[in-house]
Structure 1
């Protein structure tokens, strides 16, 4: 079934939807009050015209869809957060940190148990309620619940007369005052248990009482009070609504070891590749040619072992020669320092990059290392001495692992290239040139690559750069020539 057909069949119900790319990776998780309306909006022509680049990129990358129907918007929020934490999609920002939803904790083994708000569930003897999607609704409910059942707000484990002196809750009849024995420990514990039943949604008396007061206020034309009671009622109903357990099995991310074992099988490696190194070249211009090496141990990134290289011996834009240089430099140093050689080397590219890597390794007498090239366009895997590339299924765990490693190497190389470019622009003598803004300086450096090349260019060539013009071009050449 195509993506458009899946969208047409979406129900008009609340839920969570997952967009997937052509490699079956989850790239975005969203929630909706109406799944059909919300997801359809992404592909509406008028919205596409108004959308920013990020949204358009998401829509272009989405080729598949998965969804889960829930009972309420609050459940959708909870499930959305859970799935984002699990898949960490590239187009999501919210919930990608470790922030958790609110819980309510009460330890019934305490002499006078307290209700506390927390985000972390511990393995202790306490009871936990939640999670709760709305913090404001939860706090409103707790305040009303404490008042209704006469529960204390003080933080002392065993409240005493000292706490009573600094508290007004008993005076305004919000607390049963166990601190001065107005109520026995057993009686107070019974009130706490009644409050627990209320939080579980087992007691509807308070909700029915507020609904009756709201109706009476409306009949008396006291609409302001009726509105306040309505808001309070909505907060109570949202907090005490029992959360549904999701019985539908959610897709799970495979373990790193499973990915590595599958990679060993498909590449026919002699052992599980516990130590993988991947190389990528960023050769956007001849000014800054850089490379990156990322290391994955046990299927996970070891960022402290990453390396970045500036290409030293290659003239012009030659990816193959750059790959040969960085492979030779990397493993010559490993040999000199007695370091560990990898179980698998991955180079970003096809036959040419693979041949260059092998040439460098053979020059170092490293003839038994496993090396592959991963070509981006069709995700083809090139291997030594085999004429035809290996093409894995897009859902293959081995391929996904290789893609994660390759993409990380690409990110590091590009980041380093951008860093050097920005550093060069900051250090440029163009900073002192009248009429040259930061944006114009950036455009000139990108167009010519260096100050020396700008000096050797004609007025017409400089004026052809966006935002410069002939008059400013003449000023630039005059300024640079005056600086030698």
Structure 2
């Protein structure tokens, strides 16, 4: 759920989103809701939804999004606690499975993450028991450790520490457990447990049947197929940047995959703060260090076209200026401007690398302004496209008809990712400026009121609301404020209502 500035204020999941969403807007439900829920409902301006394959995936994605955006109205998952992973270090003399919440580059083998911690612990206990794997902590247990351990009796450990099982056989059991955690051959495991459970029930051994039922349910939860969702605002693990870049280059008829892309978006929630964002993707992934944000300076009112022209002009004139300062001999070259910039980049002399593709958020209007500014700077051959959000159409200069890339193609998804990232970054900046402005007093815009007079008024009346209720005579009692000024203040505050 998003507010009017595009900020994410709540993340939730449901099997039936329509039913859950409609429940928020039923008058009877709203009246019974607590203060926090009513405040959330009043703040909702837009929605965005993601479809996943099962409950486990929804938990993983929900946790990722909450940790990434820290929505105001979410309570759970806001800490940095991660879902459990299973780790095994095969380089150990006698490897064992342990749980962890952090994946490290330590040569170990990892499985997960797993959203159901209780089911995971039960599954590991069953695996260790059924396969006779050790659970003791010593890195290389021997006879001395065995004398203080009863795991072979209590936990059905195969006791490799005293040679009761060969090293080759123990590692074969470890490999079988790894295959099960990967989900390989799980149907056979499920069928075997169901058959054993049925047999126990037929023999009236209901306690054993109930135990097998619980094991089976925990295994199904643990081994349910889930995609991993990467932390951070980066690309999800299901995305294939290399393939998407190659496909995008073909769809747009570029000379090759656009390794460096820059996308621009304008955010003008109100005329007070018109801002723009520029995000850069390198090799299909966000390059956060090269993000830029702009406050529009030359445009009055809400004019997306003029605002786009300004930010394009500022961005690429800055690139050309900095590269020319670092390489003063470049202006005497006979090469075209783009060719000289590409050569400087290859030689490592360019302070800022010119992108392979420029993307503007919008249709023909925004694209036309971007093309005009690039041509004025001499960047005639720099590839630029516009992405219109309504039908996800791609507009190309000099082409009357838009390009409709199928929605299941990675090329369009890549364009959507960079466009959405630019939109998020622009709205975040606008939201920041809006919060700053809310801290300012309405008296800042009142004609004839100096900072000293504003301070006097707020010290006397405490707030603007109380000042509105005061009479002109009472306001005029303050030093430096005449009857005419007091009447002007009340008139100004009255117009603001």
Same fold (TM over 0.5): yes
CA 1:272–1:455: 2 relative to 1, 3 Å: farther
Matched, 1:320 2:305: yes
Q: Distance in 2 between matches of 1:192 and 1:206?
A: 26
User: Equivalences for 1:54-453 in 2 at 5 Å?
Assistant: 77=55, 99=82, 101-103=84-86, 105=88, 110=93, 114=96, 116-117=98-99, 134-139=116-121, 154-159=136-141, 170=150, 174=154, 184-186=162-164, 235-239=214-218, 255-338=240-323, 339-426=352-439, 428=440, 430=441, 451-452=444-445
Deviations 1:170-204 (A, max 9, x none): 5997489999x9x9422698999999999978799
Q: Distance in 2 between matches of 1:344 and 1:47?
A: 43
Tell me the equivalent position of 2:469.
Answer: 471
Tell me the equivalent position of 2:344.
Answer: none
Shift of 1:295: 1.2
CA 1:418–1:299: 2 relative to 1, 3 Å: same
8 Å CA contact 1:276, 1:342 repeated in 2 = yes
Secondary structure of 2:164 counterpart: helix
8 Å CA contact 1:455, 1:480 repeated in 2 = no
Q: Distance in 2 between matches of 1:412 and 1:473?
A: 45
8 Å CA contact 2:158, 2:164 repeated in 1 = no
Secondary structure of 2:278 counterpart: strand
Secondary structure of 2:301 counterpart: coil
Deviations 1:107-134 (A, max 9, x none): 69836x65544576999798x9998764
8 Å CA contact 2:119, 2:222 repeated in 1 = no
Q: Distance in 2 between matches of 1:276 and 1:416?
A: 21
Secondary structure of 1:283 counterpart: strand
8 Å CA contact 2:246, 2:257 repeated in 1 = yes
8 Å CA contact 2:250, 2:256 repeated in 1 = no
Shift of 1:235: 4.3
Structure 2 spans left out of the alignment, 5+ residues: 1-10, 31-36, 181-188, 226-236, 324-351, 450-463, 486-497
Shift of 1:260: 2.6
Secondary structure of 1:269 counterpart: coil
8 Å CA contact 1:290, 1:413 repeated in 2 = yes
Tell me the equivalent position of 2:342.
Answer: none
CA 1:453–1:384: 2 relative to 1, 3 Å: farther
8 Å CA contact 1:106, 1:116 repeated in 2 = no
Q: Distance in 1 between matches of 2:282 and 2:357?
A: 11
Shift of 1:307: 0.8
Aligned length: 389
Secondary structure of 2:302 counterpart: coil
Shift of 1:303: 1.1
Secondary structure of 2:270 counterpart: coil
Structure 1 spans left out of the alignment, 5+ residues: 1-27, 33-37, 69-75, 217-225, 247-251, 431-443, 445-449, 457-465
8 Å CA contact 1:207, 1:236 repeated in 2 = no
Secondary structure of 2:413 counterpart: helix
8 Å CA contact 2:130, 2:156 repeated in 1 = no
CA 1:188–1:155: 2 relative to 1, 3 Å: farther
- Taking CA–CA contacts closer than 8 Å with sequence separation of 6 or more, which of the two structures ends up with the larger relative contact order? 2
CA 1:153–1:331: 2 relative to 1, 3 Å: closer
Shift of 1:213: 13
CA 1:231–1:454: 2 relative to 1, 3 Å: farther
Q: Distance in 2 between matches of 1:234 and 1:324?
A: 66
8 Å CA contact 2:87, 2:108 repeated in 1 = no
8 Å CA contact 1:392, 1:399 repeated in 2 = yes
Secondary structure of 2:294 counterpart: strand
Q: Distance in 2 between matches of 1:208 and 1:104?
A: 33
8 Å CA contact 1:140, 1:232 repeated in 2 = no
Secondary structure of 1:395 counterpart: coil
Shift of 1:403: 2.1
Shift of 1:478: 10
User: Equivalences for 1:42-61 in 2 at 5 Å?
Assistant: 49=26, 50=29
Normalised to the residue count of structure 1, the TM-score between the two structures is 0.57
8 Å CA contact 1:278, 1:295 repeated in 2 = yes
Alignment RMSD (CA, Å): 5.9
Secondary structure of 1:322 counterpart: helix
Q: Distance in 2 between matches of 1:286 and 1:383?
A: 30
Q: Distance in 1 between matches of 2:259 and 2:111?
A: 42
